[in-house]
Structure 1
């Protein structure tokens, strides 16, 4: 036996130290609600101080859990370099360590995805799943609902009352943006949106159109241009196309990445932001996208994608640990507006930051 094995702290050591039963120690370490919160906290604190490391194989036998979360992603050409995905994934990785969990990541072609889910469910190698980029009537959601598996979705579709999800108010944000632009006197708005095969982009377009209706404007006051997911490398071309219409005096972007890319097209068009062009964008607070040059020049709706990653894990672990039914969580958004936009048109559930 190695020195490491001889010196390894066990549950028995913790039980002797705290004068508690081995069963109580085990259930406290695994987060069971039948152990009081103060006892759980005391056990977990002592375990950290003594350097206790759980034996995963033994833990799985006791808890019937793998202590792993599954994330199965379609392996499109640019999906893994999409800064939006990277930001969410970073939040997930930071949060799972608080539960002593790992993330099992897998990818495959669109046709291979159902078989991958089926394999992980049948061999019970993960305790639950994270899904992203849902489509209307998403087949993955249908499968996991029927299989009775814990899962959480980044986004939602029409069955959102049946599963856990984390999202932002896509509809409300772009409804508000359109109302703000119309309220400031703009008669023709270009909306450079994401891929409407996915519900987040579809909801944003529907929200923008509803904003027109609320302000009594016709649909032709809004022209929508769609990027193909992921929303990278589309900003320049779609902005250039939008500005071919001389009546366009306001542009909305579904992503700050596209807003940054669109600056060159705006400059080459002879337009000047703040004088004959107003710009607003969704800002997911991507740490690798520098918006310094646009601060004070354009308006933002801000909500951190990183926080969505943390929330996805929290919602999934609540199901895995049987601490409550699946539910949705809306990540708040806040507006940072240029002074000429009418703040009174922003609904009360959004925060408006001072600029």
Structure 2
């Protein structure tokens, strides 16, 4: 039996012109609808995208770049310090980013280098126009990466904030407010000597958390009583040693952890000290809802403030794409925190802007 046409010839690729003919819309409208521009109505975008799916349309990236002057890629450049890539906090955010970019038909270009070379890596990607914007993580006070990116005018979003957060898009939690509240709750329960096992204060998030805890003491008219112990980023393997050090002070009756990873690791040190969680030692921790960290043993025994890092990953992409697609003014987004306190703690001290579970 003879087939029409050349044997084995593949079906011709569906083009934007084909979609235009099928829908009776201009090529420009089709193109902008496929790229998610807000000047095309949601109803039209949905109709175009559904028809594209039904007809088997796949975008030609090279053609898109010529027409839109966009690469359809976003960049993430990370220092390649020890253990940075196995940090569960990073993994959780990155997973959220990878899931969200699919909604925009974008790719993530990932690069790493020595800390002193990171700015030059940004320069390389800016100069060859290979990405449409950047995700910047773990800002430091007066961050050199932000200095450079502000000078380029290229869209970027920061996971966290430093002093110039009114000039760029960001996604963050209320580090100051959450740890001020957590400390005030423990003070309200009668704990006057509190150990704060914090992250690395080279980074803005850890500075803000310590400042929040200090502010709670000041509000209660207490000039001392908070002892801070700092981990080195990425806060893995520090929980046991820092807990052990904190419990050398017998007057410590409560510990606040900056990460549930450290809270879990600290349990062995607490058991070795003959202290009892929930009896002569109160524990509270930040819980980023890391799916690979099992908190089952701590549920009901300690208090949590929760804000999922995976949600931050999704939000980072949304904020960046607003800048890339619509060239809108930079805005920030706070991921809400939720408190899960032990019953003996004064939940009424948690302000209304936070959820108490």
Find the aligned partners of 1:28 and 1:336 in 2 and give their Cα distance: 43
Q: Deviations over 1:128-176 (max 9, x none)?
A: 0000000000000010001111000000000000000000000011101
Residue 5 of structure 1: how far off its partner (Å): 5.5
> Structure 2: how far apart are the matches of 1:179 and 1:40?
49
In the aligned structure 2, how far is the partner of 1:3 from the partner of 1:19?
Answer: 32
- The alignment partner of 1:111 has SS state of helix
Query: 1:306 is matched with which residue: 302, 310, 313?
Result: 310
What does the per-residue CA deviation read over 1:61-103, in whole Å, with 9 as the maximum and x for residues that have no partner? 0100000000000000100000000000000000000000000
Query: What secondary structure sits across from 2:326 in the alignment?
Result: coil
Mapping of residues 207-226 of structure 1, within 5 Å: 207-218=212-223, 220-226=224-230
TM-score normalised to the size of structure 1? Answer: 0.97
Report how far residue 10 of structure 1 moved.
1.4
CA distance in 1, matches of 2:250, 2:127: 58
Distance 1:214 1:5 in 2: 73
Q: How many residues align?
A: 352
DSSP-derived class of the 2:115 partner: coil
CA distance in 1, matches of 2:349, 2:248: 29
Which of 35, 38, 51 is 1:33 aligned to? Answer: 38
Q: Deviations over 1:22-57 (max 9, x none)?
A: 222112112223322221121011112222110000
The residue number in structure 2 matching 1:159 is: 164
- The Cα of 1:277 is off from its aligned counterpart by 0.3
Equivalent-residue separation in structure 2 for 1:95 and 1:155 (angstroms): 19
Counterpart check, 1:272 vs 2:276? yes
Look up the SS of the partner of 1:329 in the other structure: strand
Instruction: State the alpha-carbon separation in 2 of the partners of residues 228 and 273 from structure 1.
Output: 25
The SS at the match of 2:11 is helix
**Structure 1 residue 130 and structure 2 residue 142: aligned?**
no
Q: Which residue of 1 aligns with 2:149?
A: 144
Q: Do 2:36 and 2:104's aligned partners in 1 also have CA atoms closer than 8 Å?
A: no
Structure 1, gaps ≥5 residues long: none
Residues 276-308 of structure 1, C-alpha deviations (whole Å, 9 max, x = no match): 000000000000000001000000000000000
* Structure 2 segments unaligned to the other structure (5+ residues): 1-5
Instruction: Specify which of 285, 293, 297 is matched with residue 281 of structure 1.
Output: 285
In the aligned structure 2, how far is the partner of 1:183 from the partner of 1:34? 52
Q: How many angstroms does 1:6 deviate by?
A: 3.2
- 1:323: Cα distance to partner? 5.2
- Please show how residues 1-16 of structure 1 align to structure 2 within 5 Å: 6-16=11-21
Runs of 4+ in 1 over 4 A off after TM superposition: 1-5
Distance of 1:336 and 1:92 partners within structure 2? 27
Structure 2 residue matching 1:321: 3-state secondary structure: helix
Matched, 1:293 2:297: yes
Task: Pick which of 30-39 and 79-88 moved more.
Answer: 30-39
Tell me the residue number matched to 2:236.
232
SS of match in other structure, 2:25: coil
C-alpha RMSD over aligned residues = 1.3
**Alignment pair present for 1:116 and 2:121:** yes
Aligned pairs for 1:195-210 within 5 A: 195-210=200-215
